[in-house]
Structure 1
Amino acid sequence: MNYRAFHKLSYGLYVIASEHEGEKVGYIGNTAFQITSNPSKIAISSHKNNYSTQKILDSKRFSLSVLKKEVETSLIGKFGFMSGSEIDKFQGVETKTAKTGAPIVLDSCVAWFDCQVLESVDVGSHMLIIAEVVDGELISNEEPLTYDYYHKKYKMLAPQNAPTYIERDKLGDEPEAEPVTEKAEEPATEDESGDGIFTCTICGYQYDPEEGDPTVGIPPGTPWEDVPEEYKCPICNASKDYFKKTS
């Protein structure tokens, strides 16, 4: 089987959030789709190991915020690569509530849906959660973020908890970025000098000196050795110690 065929299936990127017994939870998901029109129903696929999954099942509610194409990368870093058991992902993030009371993330989003859980199905590594849409709103007409664009811009594969995860050795010899993982075993120890590309060992983000990182004031043409020591990965917030030279 050519596993790269799976990369031709289309996906978006969303913030899926809920609240149970006063605790807000949320994560970045790429598998959410409308399954009926009358009544309007949406299904999401959530990994059993995600901290948010059980909270959604217990509260029987969740919100789904559609991310815009030019998303604020810190939002993906916070909701996609950090655990709600360790940090408050919602600190500094604009939210609102609608009919179910689930927190709805508004930052970097073009639309949102407020959903009441109807049923769930154990499908192996994931729970398929089916919900009725009880409210929703269009925030802007900006383009939504697609998983394809996300892959191409940040040169990353799917994380292990994603429904779309494929083991790297099944993808053949075509060069791609390292798979996204939530934690690296230890900081990179390779030489941090030179003008090559440096890759975050946690999420796979690549720092290219020719491009710099204008989002935090690092201009194009800045070699890695001149990047401030307090620099953080714009995707997962990892420190500079977790970058290694890859080319």
Structure 2
Amino acid sequence: MNYRAFHKLSYGLYVIATEHEGEKVGYIGNTAFQVTSEPSKIAISSNKNNYSTQKIIDSKKFSLSVLKKDVETSLIGKFGFMSSIDIDKFDGVLTKRSETGAPIVLNSCVAWFDCKVVDTVDVGTHILIIAEVVDGDIISNEEALTYDYYHKKYKMYAPKNAPTYIDKDKLGDEPEPKIESEPDPQPEDKKGKAKSVDENGVFTCSICGFRYDPEEGDPSAGIPPGTPFEDLPDDYKCPICNASKEYFKKDL
């Protein structure tokens, strides 16, 4: 089976959040869909091992914020690859309080829904949580982020608790297609000659799957195109999950 076919199923990417007994929790989800229109209901699929899952069930509410295409990658790193047990994911994040009381994340989002849980279904590794939409609004008319674009642009794995998680060993050696863009001019050395960049010098974060490509650099960290991985500062961190350099492995 070609497991990359699953990447072609149509999904969005969302921040799903709730608050229970004064504690705010949330995670990145890619399985959310409308199941009825009258009344409007949305279903989400949440891993049983997710810290947020039981909080949503206990609080009987959640918000769903639709991420925009030009998302802040740090938001995905914080809500998608870190646990609410370890950090306050909402620190520095713009939110508003919903009618149900669930916190609504506004950063890098185009729309939001406030949802009241009405039913749950055990589907094995995950719980299907069905909720009635009590409120919703549009934040921006920007394009929403899709799962397909997420894989092509950010070249990342789905978190292990995601319903769409696929063991990277099953994906084989065929690389993800890249989104083509106008190439940046190669930086020049002091003699005015273009630097040579090792075509095989791509390093992948073993935590989240972010790929550091020396031809692209890392603009978010001020790393210009043409910078080999070996020349990155010792304190360089993955822009998605904040993993240190030691967690990067060279692509073979």
| TM-score under structure 2 length normalisation | 0.87
Match of residue 185 from structure 1: none
CA contact (8 A) 1:156 1:176 kept: no
Distance in structure 2 (CA, Å) of the matches to 1:94 and 1:24: 13
Match of residue 146 from structure 1: 146
Match of residue 182 from structure 1: none
| Aligned 1:29-44 pairs, distance under 5 A | 29-44=29-44
Does the C-alpha gap of structure 1 residues 3 and 219 become closer, same or farther in structure 2, counting only changes over 3 Å?
Answer: closer
Distance in structure 1 (CA, Å) of the matches to 2:229 and 2:52: 36
Residue 135 (str. 1) matches residue 120 (str. 2): no
Distance in structure 1 (CA, Å) of the matches to 2:114 and 2:251: 42
CA contact (8 A) 2:207 2:243 kept: yes
- The alignment partner of 1:43 has SS state of strand
Distance in structure 2 (CA, Å) of the matches to 1:86 and 1:30: 22
| Aligned 1:1-247 pairs, distance under 5 A | 2-171=2-171, 174-175=174-175, 195=198, 196-247=201-252
CA contact (8 A) 2:157 2:208 kept: no
Distance in structure 2 (CA, Å) of the matches to 1:121 and 1:20: 21
Distance in structure 2 (CA, Å) of the matches to 1:76 and 1:158: 11
- The alignment partner of 2:76 has SS state of helix
Distance in structure 2 (CA, Å) of the matches to 1:27 and 1:156: 16
Does the C-alpha gap of structure 1 residues 116 and 236 become closer, same or farther in structure 2, counting only changes over 3 Å?
Answer: same
1:2 to partner: Cα distance: 4.7
Distance in structure 2 (CA, Å) of the matches to 1:166 and 1:204: 12
1:142-195 CA-to-partner distances (Å, cap 9, x unmatched) read 000000000111223333211112334544553459xxxxxxxxxxxxxxxx84
Distance in structure 1 (CA, Å) of the matches to 2:21 and 2:244: 33
- Identity rate, percent: 81
1:28-75 CA-to-partner distances (Å, cap 9, x unmatched) read 000000111111110000000000000000000000000000100000
1:226 to partner: Cα distance: 2.1
- The alignment partner of 1:33 has SS state of strand
1:224 to partner: Cα distance: 1.6
Distance in structure 1 (CA, Å) of the matches to 2:216 and 2:119: 47
CA contact (8 A) 1:27 1:80 kept: yes
Distance in structure 1 (CA, Å) of the matches to 2:159 and 2:92: 25
- The alignment partner of 2:7 has SS state of helix
CA contact (8 A) 2:7 2:147 kept: no
Distance in structure 1 (CA, Å) of the matches to 2:3 and 2:217: 33
Match of residue 183 from structure 2: none
Amino acid at match of 2:207: I
Distance in structure 1 (CA, Å) of the matches to 2:74 and 2:60: 28
Choose 1 or 2 for highest CA Rg.
2
1:3 to partner: Cα distance: 3.9
Distance in structure 2 (CA, Å) of the matches to 1:100 and 1:24: 13
Q: Which moved more, 1:164-173 or 1:67-76?
A: 164-173
How many residue pairs get matched? 231
1:218 to partner: Cα distance: 1.0
Query: Cα RMSD (Å) of the superposition?
Result: 1.7
Amino acid at match of 2:221: V
CA contact (8 A) 2:204 2:210 kept: yes
For structure 1, the residue ranges without an aligned partner over 5 or more in a row are 178-193
1:201 to partner: Cα distance: 1.1
